[in-house]
Amino acid sequence: QVQLVESGGGSVQAGGSLRLSCAAFGYMSGSGCMGWFRQAPGKEREGVAAITDSGVTRYADSVKGRFTVSQDNAKNTLYLQMNSLKPEDTALYYCAADFRSHCFLLPLRMASYLYWGRGTQVTVSS
User: pLDDT tens string for the chain (126 positions)?
Assistant: 899 999 999 999 999 999 999 999 998 877 899 999 999 999 999 999 999 988 999 999 999 999 999 999 888 899 999 999 999 999 999 999 998 888 888 999 999 999 999 999 999 999
Q: Which amino acid is at 116?
A: W
Cα Rg for the chain, rounded, in angstroms? 14
DSSP lists the bridge partners of residue 60 as none
The sign one gets for the Cα dihedral 12, 22, 50, 43 is: negative
- Separation between Cα atoms, residue 74 and residue 57, nearest integer Å: 18
For 49, the enclosing helix (H) or strand (E) is: strand 46-52
